[in-house]
Every structure is written in C-alpha cells, then in structure tokens.
Amino acid sequence: MRHKYRIGFLVTCASILATAQVSAQVTADAEAPDQQVTLTTVLVTAQKREQSLQDVPIAVSAVSGTELRSSGVQTIEQMQSMVPNLNIGQNNGVARVTVRGVGLDNNSPSAEGSIAFHSDGVFIQRSQAALAGLYDLERVEVLRGPQGTLYGRNATGGSINVVTAKPTEDFSGYGLVSYGTDSALNLEGAVSGSLIEDLVLGRLSVKSSEHDGYGKNIITGTEIDDLQERSVRGQLQFLFGEDFDVLLIGDYTTGDDRSGMYHFGGFANPALPVPGLLAGGVVANDPRDVANRLDPNSEREFWGLSSTATWEISNNLTLKSITAYRHTEYFLHNTSLDATSLALFPILQDESANQFSQEVQLNGRFGDFEWITGLYYFREKNKAVAAGPLSLALLGGAPEDFLSGYYAGSWLKTDAVAAFGEASYQLTDRLGVTVGARFSREEKTVLDEQAFDFANVALSDRADSLDLLATPTFICGEALSTIPSCEPSHSWDSFTPKVAVEYDLDDLGLLYANFSRGFKSGTYNLGSVQGAPVDPEEVDAFEIGAKLSPLNGRLRANLAAFLYDYQDLQVSKVVTTQLRLENAATAKIQGLEAELSAQLSPSLRIDGAIGYLDAKFDSFISVDPTRPDGDGVTLDPATGQPAFNLEGNRLPQAPEFSGRLSFEYQTDIRDFELTLRGNVSHSTQAYFTAFNQENIS
C-alpha cells in the first residue's frame, strides 16, 4: 500500500516578502509588555452565532487567515493536510471534496457534492467555484459530520465555511508576494478603512496566482497543467446607528490556462486493447506529461453579489437577512479520453449556472435558553453540455476529421425551500441539551438530451468547436420526450433532526454527544437520459467528543468518535453503454479524530492532528468497463452483465489514516515580525473509485 507524505518549511519575513502591515492593532500587540503563555481564543460561527471554538459541541476545525498565509495555503485543496479526515481532489476542474468518507461520486454534468460550501453565509452550489483561490480571509471553518439542521441542502457530510476579512474603521492593509518552484508567483493584498466616518466602511482585496506547467504536451511542446487566475473582492459596510448595518460584497474570479487534461495512467487489464495505440498513437512516458495533437484549454469565470443586513433588535434578539446572486461559467476543451497522440475521443465540457438565494435568521437568548430559527429559499438554473466526437483515425482516416459521436446536454432548474430551528437549554449548571430540526422541500425540472451518432461527419474539423455536437435522439423534458420512463419534474421532502447533550467540565472543557441526520437532494443523471431521477442520500450520524483546554489554556485537545449509517448512496454505475447514477449502495463509516495545540512559550506553538477512518461499502455491485469479465462470479442484477461485488471496499477518497504535525516560531526584529513555520503531513492510500484499484489512487 502506498503512503503519501507532504513536508513543508516556510520562512515568512515582512522585509523579505515585501509585506507591509499598517494595522495599528498589530503594532500595539507587538509592543505589549506582558505576554501570557496561552492559546488564542478562536471564535467561530459554525452554529450561525459567534462562539468560542471550545464551546461548540460539534467537530469543527477553524484555520485563521494568518495561519493559512504563514502555511503557504493558497487553495481549498491545500487545506486537506490541516484538517483530519478531509480529502480534496479534482477531476477536470470539478472539486471532489470528501469529509469522513462522504463525498462526490458523480462526474456527469451539473453534479452536486455532498459537502456544502459557503462563503460569508452564502451557499455556493457549483463545486468548480470551490477551487477558486483563498485570499484575505478571517478564517475557514470545516464542520465535520451531517449539518442537516442549520445548513440543510447537500451538507450530508459536512460544510466548509469561508469567512472573509471584513472592513475596518481604522485604515489598514497588507501586501504579500510569494515565489516558489515552477515559477509559482502569488500576489495578494488588501486595503481597508472608513470611507465616510461612522457611516460607510470599505475593503478591497485582490489576488493573482500563476505557475508554469507541471508537465508538457510532448506532441506540441506546450506546457500543461499551469495556472493563470485573477480574483478581486470589494466590500461596503453601511452603519445605520449601533443596532443596524448592511454589508455588500461583490467578488469576481477568472482563469484561463491549460489544465484539467486526462493523463495516460494505464489500464487495470493489461490485455485490454488500447485503440489509440493500435491505430499508431503514442503516449507520454512521464505521467505528468501528455501526448495529444491538441493543447487543452480550461476557462472559468465566477462572480457574485451578496447583501447581509443585521439588526440587533435588543441585547437578546438579532434579525439577519442574507440575499445573494452567483454566476458560474466553466469550459474545458481538448482533453481526450484515450490519452494518446491521436486524440481519438476528445472531450468538450461547457457549464454555466445562475443561482439566487435568500435566508432569514432570527437569533435569541433568554436566560439559559438560546435559539435560532430561519427560512431559506434557493433557485438555480444550470446548463451543461458534454460532447465526445470520434476521430476518423480510428477507422483509418485523418485524425483531424470527426464523426459527431457522443453528445449530452442538460438544462436543470432547482427550487428549494426550508424552515429550520435549533434551541439550547441549560438543564443544570453543567448539563445542557440542544434540539434542532429542518424541513426541506426541493423540486427539480429537467430537459435532458443525449445522442450517439457514429454515422455522420461532424460539421467542423476542430475538436474545440461545439459545432461537433450530434443531433439529440434521446430527450426527456416537459415539452418533448422520446423515452417512456421520462419524469421531467420531481420533488422531495426531507426532515433532518438533531439532538445533542453537553456536560461542562468547568475550566477543563466540555464533553458532548449528538445524533444528526444529513440530506442530499435527489437529482437527475444528466446527460444519460435515464428518465426517472435518483432518490436523496441520507446519513444518520452518532458522535461523541470532548473539547478540552487544560494547563490554563496552554493546551487544547479536541477529540471525536463517530459512527455513520449511510443509505441510498448516489453512485455512478456503467449500464450497457451508459454511465448511470443510481441509489445502488449502502455504507458504514466509523472513525476517530484528535486535534492538539500547545503554546510552549510566547513565541513557540505546536499543532497536530490525526484521523482514523473505517469507511466501507455494505453493499454495492457494479460493472467495470475496463474489465468486462467482472470478478468471475458476480452478475449485475439489473442487466445480467459480469460485474464486481464491492462489499467491503473502501469508499473513494477515504484514507484509513491521515495526520499532520507543525510548529511555528515568531520573533520581532526591529519593526518587522519574523515567522518560522514547518509542517509534515501524512496520509495512507486513498482510492479514487469504488473498485479500489492500485493504479487508480
């Protein structure tokens, strides 16, 4: 079994990196004569109200923006080594986020993940947007376990909450320049302050990230898997007295590079003919390189607007409204499934989505009774196209000539509404109980199209042109249907409760135990035109844990043990010639987590985390097209095809062990602060498919 290590050492110095800190608060802290040897209190809003991390009776990790910068973390992907049982990868630009073994196993257009992603309280549906770079942040919170009560839709396995740095009354700002291998250049900065005294605050943040290609197209000589991305975010906060404010946020990210290409990685059955090689094509020897007569092209554009209005009605009652609109556009052209120089089966993927959301929250506290209730509305319109023309080189023709081949197109509209509430009550000075519930209703309407056209020549000789699209022959929609099982609209209801108890250990910390249920919406297998939608996923989770702060706050130990009953997994299965999405599996997940922090001196801090995960299928039978003979025993019950019984296999992206250890040393040199930071992380093998193949991990 292979193991994965990551070792890093970072030296950050204001004079070296040209970092200008002009915050008066930073200077004041540096000059404080008495520094207590204690860990800093971490504030989070994991339960949609501000609390100390050590007072939140759920498994949540919080990483500050300062820690992200000092660790060299630029993207969500790079955070996985900092949080136990978090695994993040990508496939053709789509984020594959897994928490405690619960994640995404669907590569079809418009696929939705099982880990909710939020930015400043706004749910972001499209997983491509989650891969945009992190910059100018206050913190990132990773909530592990189902978040069905307060967060709801598609939070089956947890939620990642990005909290950006907010406008300040005093003028402040920073600039950061970092340079690394492969000409990696990252520029980041922000400026903040009062625009109109006591009335309007503003903040402007920017980031530019780029690096050379990690590999090369040996046919064209072009570098591939490079990065070119630019981001900007603007904020305006209007202060209407001490009790009411409105925060407006606008952000924009664009990227255009040569990433997301399929690489040749071998096949599970060495005897399986490789059409491209048999037709005279070649492959790259280095797995970082590719051999393709075409260069890949990845373009993306994400932008959004949001308004958060907060009214403190009284000392014990707060009303909040979050209104948001987001746009996502993503294009991937010229990657080829055969991964050979002939590019026999180039893939084109285009997707665009527009979403609107509205959430209203009412928070209250009366004595020992604390509560939150709210309403939520979400609408998204998504359009996705995937096309795979077939090169005539396979039939002895010219590689630049194509048959129309495969086409899948979908137009999906989602409407979701929910009402939720959660209340906590102190039964005694030490014992507290929390009860919550969410009722959700989702409706999806689809126009789904598919075609297999291997008879007609494509209208264009360019593999990056959508003129290659075949004429749809299979259609499922409200106005037209060519398949008998078509159900173009469907709705689902869900009830997701939560019950938790916590016991206060006084100055030592607290113990907790909870039960929660997570819900991932039912959906359509877009582009496969199977007609009927798949049902929602559900997770019933049991968790016990401890939040401990011994030695007068110099040590912090957060521990958790959990057990999941995972039902109706939405998994991709090959059925005849189609990749279908079905509720074809169940799983049991159990594990342990520990996060430790120690402040050994005012200057030296050590952090560590470890996660153990036993995440396996209880039942799952599937066909593997690269091994048509199956396991020699199992047959698919639906089609009778030779298949594999995957009972006992590990869930994708669920390594058994993962952990990290880091240290940070800070000292002042005149007017500058020098930070030395080192870290090492380790993860055992993670598989990327349910078949648990050694060469696909």
Under a CB-based contact definition with an 8 Å cutoff, are residues 156 and 114 in contact? Answer: yes
Residue 560, both tokens: 């958790």
Q: What pLDDT was estimated at residue 32? A: 42
Cα–Cα nearest to 364, from 423, 428, 418, 427: 423
Residue 348's contacts (CB-CB under 8 Å, 6 or more residues apart) are 332, 333, 334, 385, 386, 387, 388, 463, 464, 466, 468
| Alpha helix stretches (DSSP H) within 500-644 | none
Backbone φ, ψ for residue 17 (5° rounding)? -90, 5
pLDDT tens sequence across 437-484 = 999 999 999 998 888 888 877 755 444 455 556 678 888 888 888 888
Buried b (16+ CB within 10 A) or exposed e, 371-392: bbebebebebebbbbbbbbbbb
Under a CB-based contact definition with an 8 Å cutoff, are residues 408 and 550 in contact? Answer: no
Q: What pLDDT was estimated at residue 577? A: 56
Residue 477, both tokens: 């929609």
Rg for the chain (alpha carbons), in Å? 26
Q: What pLDDT was estimated at residue 138? A: 95
Q: What pLDDT was estimated at residue 575? A: 63
Which residues of the chain carry a pLDDT beneath 70? 1-36, 92-93, 107, 109, 265-274, 459-470, 527, 531, 574-579, 695-697
Under a CB-based contact definition with an 8 Å cutoff, are residues 84 and 609 in contact? Answer: yes
Q: What pLDDT was estimated at residue 338? A: 78
Q: What pLDDT was estimated at residue 265? A: 66
Residue 352, both tokens: 């665009």
Backbone φ, ψ for residue 259 (5° rounding)? -115, 170
> Distance of CA 634 to CAs 74, 577, 623, 637, 639, Å?
45, 19, 10, 9, 12
Cβ neighbours around 538 below 10 Å, total: 19
CA–CA gap between residue 563 and residue 687 (Å, rounded): 21
Q: What pLDDT was estimated at residue 31? A: 40
Q: What pLDDT was estimated at residue 465? A: 52
- 3-class state of residue 81 by DSSP: helix
Tell me, rounded to whole angstroms, the distance of Cα 658 from its chain centroid: 18
Q: What pLDDT was estimated at residue 299? A: 92
Cα–Cα nearest to 346, from 220, 466, 227: 466
| Surface-to-core class of residue 271, CB atoms within 10 Å of its CB (0-12 exposed, 13-18 middle, 19+ buried) | exposed
Residue 89, both tokens: 């990868």
CA–CA gap between residue 289 and residue 531 (Å, rounded): 39
State the amino acid at position 123 in one-letter form.
F
Question: pTM of the predicted model, to two decimals?
Answer: 0.89
| Surface-to-core class of residue 625, CB atoms within 10 Å of its CB (0-12 exposed, 13-18 middle, 19+ buried) | exposed
Beta strands 657-669 and 200-211, pairing class: unpaired
Residue 16's contacts (CB-CB under 8 Å, 6 or more residues apart) are none
